[in-house]
Chain A
Amino acid sequence: MAQLSDLEYLKLSKGKKFGYRLGHFFTGIPKGIGRFFLKIWEGLKKCGAAVGREAADIVNTFVHGDWKTKLSYLVMGFGCLARGQILRGILFLLFEVVFIGYMILSGGYWLSMLPSLGKTGPSKEYNELLDVYVTKYNDNSFQILLYGVLTIFFIIAFIYTWRLNIRQNKIAEKILASGKKLKSGKEDLRSIVDDQFHKTLLALPMTGIIVFTLLPILFMVLVAFTNYDGTHNGYTNSLFTWVGLDNFNTMLSWSGGAGGTQSYAATFGEVLLWTLIWAFFATFTNYFLGMFVAMAINKKGIRFKKGWRTILVLTIAIPQFISLLYVSKMFAKNGIINGFLMDMGWITQAIDFFGDASRPWLARITVIVINIWIGIPYLMLITTGILMNIPADLYESAKIDGASGWKQYTKITLPYMLFVTGPYLLTSFTGNMNNFNVIYLLTGGAPTNAAASSASGSVGYTDLLITWLFKITTGAESQYYMASVIGILVFVVVALVSLIVYNVMPSTRNEEDFR
């Protein structure tokens, strides 16, 4: 594809510009991949150089340092203590004591068990006193995996702190050599609310994120490489262990399951396709209709503007599960909608909106329509503010030039809106891909896809990847490893979509259009 100059690019029509960017994105993929690996290689080189520098610095500090510094290599914080920085010294020393104690008492055990995830499972032992067999629990694969990962985290933290302790010594020596005074404990405390204030503020939130998000996600990524499920829960029934890439092979294999059912790969493909279709329609129907409602309310000469808005906004306040569950029952076979339609004489037989497996698209379209009902108030709110920000003189000059209402919309309103809300559309698209509540509370995935049911958790035609994942973990077999595989694939899809959209989005190139 030919590379255009900036001037030529600007001459293109809107559609051609988009096509140009899209084409360039795809033709640029090989180059991009090459650049990606080049970047990794450069990053590795940089990393290596940094490690080398650090090592050299550590050795240098040792060779040139005084005896206080040298002893600090073994007893962390000794240099600080000897130089009068009691607070820092005690903290360093305390950390070392805790670390060594932990490694001896339990860390070593977890680490040594990590490669096998436990050796002896629960066993039956004969109890002579009671004359019965008692189950004895031994290793716990779940804890081994969890604490193994935690121990690795801890070791990394220790190495970092040890390095910090050495750097502290070097800096302290330098300061003392230049004849200045070291910071006292009081000054250290003051820096917590002053020049180190950002670390204080971030401490609590980041701890929460690391412990409750990062660690669990790492753990679940590792689970995808094990056979952890309901029958191998690692403690009470049977240990689980590493299985390599087996689960990914199952997920991506095309061979069918027992009883003439589909393969995992076919089911995954189907669900993924529907997930993408759903995300697309859920995002854009809401976006355009929400914008339309906002424009209708904004229009000159419309009365009770505030009243209309309040009615719509109030529906946001009602917890979604109530409205979703209630609406799903309204569409039930004996629900209000069918009752109304039959009273009117428009239909003679109740329509089974969510249960008819022979008409999966009926359920799918109904879900998208109900989602419009859910989403419009929110989109109306967001777009109202932006619409009011469009400079009025743009419209006035357009009117003088004789532009029709439609022309004004496509040439002024829409480009402006797309430009400003581009990032929002992206997050809303990926958010809809993972929109568990709407699907699960409305249909629960129904109607059931009989052919796909071998893939555990019984998949339905309106199931998204995320609801499928949930069903697997709560199903009879609880194949957690399969849920993890799906989770990882969801991540890959979301990351890919974000990458593509980010490269094609006008906001990244036409930044000056509306300045």
Chain B
Amino acid sequence: MSEATAKRHMGLKASRAVTNTAIHILLIVISIIWLIPFVCIVLQSFRVENSGQVGYVLPKVWGTDNYSNLFQTDFPRWYTNTFVAALITAVLQTVIVLCMSYTLSRFRFKMRQPLMRFMLILGMFPGMLTMIILYRVLKDLGMTQANATPGLILVYIASSGMGYYVSKGFFDTIPTSLDEAARIDGATRAQILYKIILPLSKPIVIYTILTAFMGPWGDYVFARYIAFGASAGKNVAVGLYDWLSKDQISNNYTMFCAGGVLVALPVTVLFMFLQKYYVEGVTGGAVKG
């Protein structure tokens, strides 16, 4: 029996079973492809016999030397820098973003449309360009090189108002009749925000905090610019990047893997717990733009 006739003989159910099996296999392959780099990085962080780059994955000698060696370097300092920056940014950026998006979603004032257009146009300039001047200004204020972290935090939070889109999209979905009812009862606009809107906005608040917390862990450009080569002022991204430079990679490659695992751990754990809110924010807000 040829394949074509076999197909014809199979019922609708059977043909669906075939496609579903194919899709299952495909999904397994996809999952493997997506997980391979992370499995490799974990495995290589335990490799002891060679600290450089090799063409195989499974370590020949297992050990935790790479992790203990991390503490002989500036890594703990970079880690603290990044962690502090992430924590403070998470709080302040959330406050600023919520102020901005709430205002643009709820109030109707003369400058609202021009303001939004102004920020849209401003956002079309490459933000990296501003680094040149911000570096000089922060340097005058003593917030660069070894003291880079406060300067970095300032840069992170100062312009965060521009990222109001997602949470504005969320606030737009809360019915205004709630506000009006509270106004009739004599609440001020500030009371409406604290007593009515914020309790309803838990998902978007958590989403904003989570993304704000994750941002500083991955920032490379601004961090490198402001640290300007001073090891004490680097964040993890800049520090670990240098370990992979041509003259260091043969000694520090496995240590990079160990450092990478330590960096990814807290963010990933936090993310796992708050995944629901992240998905909600991305699917709800990102599209309305």
Q: Report whether chain A binds chain B.
A: yes
A residues with a Cβ closer than 8 A to B are: 142, 146, 190, 193-195, 197-198, 200-202, 204-206, 208-209, 211-214, 216-217, 219-220, 223, 293, 296-297, 299, 301-303, 308, 310-323, 325-327, 329-330, 332, 334-336, 338-340, 342-343, 373, 376-378, 381-382, 384-386, 420-421, 423-424, 427, 430, 434, 436-437, 440-441, 466, 469-470, 473, 480, 483-484, 487, 490-491, 494-495, 498
CB atoms of A322 and B279 under 8 A apart: no
Q: Mark B268-287, 1 if CB is under 8 A from A, else 0.
A: 10111001001100111011
Assess whether B75 is interfacial by the CB under 8 Å rule. Answer: no
CB atoms of A302 and B24 under 8 A apart: yes
Q: Give the distance to chain B from A201, nearest Cβ to Cβ, in Å.
A: 4
- Using A373-B34, A382-B283 as known contacts, list a sample of 10 further A-B pairs with CB atoms less than 8 Å apart, ordered by residue number in A: A197-B189, A213-B130, A220-B133, A310-B275, A316-B278, A322-B260, A340-B55, A343-B55, A434-B126, A436-B128
**When the two chains form the complex, which single residue of A201, A303, A466 contacts B102, counting CB atoms closer than 8 Å?**
A201
* Complex alpha-carbon distance, A421 and B289, angstroms: 9
Assess whether B10 is interfacial by the CB under 8 Å rule. Answer: no
Q: Give the distance to chain A from B38, nearest Cβ to Cβ, in Å.
A: 7
A299 / chain B contacts, CB cutoff of 8 Å = 20, 23
A424-B286, A424-B287, A487-B126 known; A319 vs B241 contact (CB < 8 Å): no
A436-B128, A491-B126 known; A330 vs B40 contact (CB < 8 Å): yes
* Complex alpha-carbon distance, A23 and B226, angstroms: 48
Closest to A309 in B: B279
CB atoms of B133 and A219 under 8 A apart: yes
CB atoms of A469 and B129 under 8 A apart: yes
B60 / chain A contacts, CB cutoff of 8 Å = none
Q: Mark B46-90, 1 if CB is under 8 A from A, else 0.
A: 000000011111000000000000000000000000000000000
Query: Can you list 26 residue pairs at the A/B interface with Cβ under 8 Å?
Result: A142-B136, A194-B188, A202-B103, A206-B161, A208-B96, A209-B158, A211-B158, A212-B158, A213-B122, A213-B130, A213-B159, A302-B20, A312-B34, A314-B268, A317-B267, A319-B264, A335-B53, A338-B55, A339-B54, A373-B34, A385-B287, A421-B287, A434-B126, A440-B220, A480-B132, A491-B126
**When the two chains form the complex, which single residue of A319, A334, A494 contacts B55, counting CB atoms closer than 8 Å?**
A334
CB atoms of A217 and B125 under 8 A apart: yes
Assess whether B146 is interfacial by the CB under 8 Å rule. Answer: no
Closest to A340 in B: B55
* Complex alpha-carbon distance, A212 and B154, angstroms: 9
**When the two chains form the complex, which single residue of A200, A208, A325 contacts B240, counting CB atoms closer than 8 Å?**
A325
* Complex alpha-carbon distance, A436 and B20, angstroms: 39
Assess whether B155 is interfacial by the CB under 8 Å rule. Answer: yes
Q: Give the distance to chain A from B85, nearest Cβ to Cβ, in Å.
A: 13
The number of inter-chain residue pairs (CB within 8 angstroms) is 246
Stretch at the interface among B1-9, B25-33, B198-206: B25-33
* Complex alpha-carbon distance, A212 and B161, angstroms: 11
CB atoms of B96 and A204 under 8 A apart: yes
A377-B34, A382-B283 known; A321 vs B23 contact (CB < 8 Å): no
B283 / chain A contacts, CB cutoff of 8 Å = 381-382, 384-386
Closest to A466 in B: B126
Closest to B190 in A: A193
CB atoms of A216 and B162 under 8 A apart: no
Assess whether B231 is interfacial by the CB under 8 Å rule. Answer: no
**Dominant secondary structure of chain A at its interface with chain B:** helix
* Complex alpha-carbon distance, A327 and B119, angstroms: 35
CB atoms of A319 and B122 under 8 A apart: no
A377 / chain B contacts, CB cutoff of 8 Å = 34
Q: Mark B202-228, 1 if CB is under 8 A from A, else 0.
A: 000000000000100110110000000
Closest to A228 in B: B132
CB atoms of B129 and A217 under 8 A apart: yes
Closest to B55 in A: A339
* Complex alpha-carbon distance, A280 and B237, angstroms: 28
B20 / chain A contacts, CB cutoff of 8 Å = 299, 301-302
CB atoms of A209 and B27 under 8 A apart: no
CB atoms of A470 and B16 under 8 A apart: no
Q: Mark B33-44, 1 if CB is under 8 A from A, else 0.
A: 111011011000
* Complex alpha-carbon distance, A206 and B132, angstroms: 21
CB atoms of A436 and B267 under 8 A apart: no
B residues with a Cβ closer than 8 A to A are: 16-17, 20, 23-24, 26-27, 30-31, 33-35, 37-38, 40-41, 53-57, 96-97, 99-100, 102-103, 107, 109, 115, 119, 121-122, 124-134, 136-137, 154-155, 157-162, 188-191, 193, 214, 217-218, 220-221, 236-237, 240-241, 244, 249, 253, 256-257, 260, 263-264, 267-268, 270-272, 275, 278-279, 282-284, 286-289
CB atoms of B55 and A483 under 8 A apart: no
**When the two chains form the complex, which single residue of B96, B132, B267, B275 contacts A473, counting CB atoms closer than 8 Å?**
B132
Closest to B121 in A: A495
* Complex alpha-carbon distance, A236 and B161, angstroms: 36
Q: Give the distance to chain B from A184, nearest Cβ to Cβ, in Å.
A: 17
Q: Give the distance to chain A from B42, nearest Cβ to Cβ, in Å.
A: 11
Closest to B217 in A: A319
CB atoms of B31 and A311 under 8 A apart: yes
Q: Give the distance to chain B from A301, nearest Cβ to Cβ, in Å.
A: 5
* Complex alpha-carbon distance, A293 and B100, angstroms: 35
A322 / chain B contacts, CB cutoff of 8 Å = 41, 240, 260, 263-264
Q: Give the distance to chain B from A384, nearest Cβ to Cβ, in Å.
A: 7
Q: Give the distance to chain B from A196, nearest Cβ to Cβ, in Å.
A: 9
Q: Give the distance to chain B from A438, nearest Cβ to Cβ, in Å.
A: 11
* Complex alpha-carbon distance, A217 and B34, angstroms: 39
A193 / chain B contacts, CB cutoff of 8 Å = 188-191
* Complex alpha-carbon distance, A320 and B167, angstroms: 23
Closest to A332 in B: B53
A213-B122, A301-B16 known; A313 vs B275 contact (CB < 8 Å): yes
- Which of A205, A219, A302, A327 is most buried by chain B, counting CB atoms within 10 A of its CB? A205
**When the two chains form the complex, which single residue of B41, B53, B190, B221 contacts A470, counting CB atoms closer than 8 Å?**
B221
A323 / chain B contacts, CB cutoff of 8 Å = 37-38
B133 / chain A contacts, CB cutoff of 8 Å = 146, 216, 219-220
Closest to B120 in A: A498
- Which 4 A-B residue pairs are closest in the complex by CB-CB distance? A339-B55, A385-B283, A205-B161, A317-B271
CB atoms of B137 and A146 under 8 A apart: yes
A198 / chain B contacts, CB cutoff of 8 Å = 103, 107, 109, 189
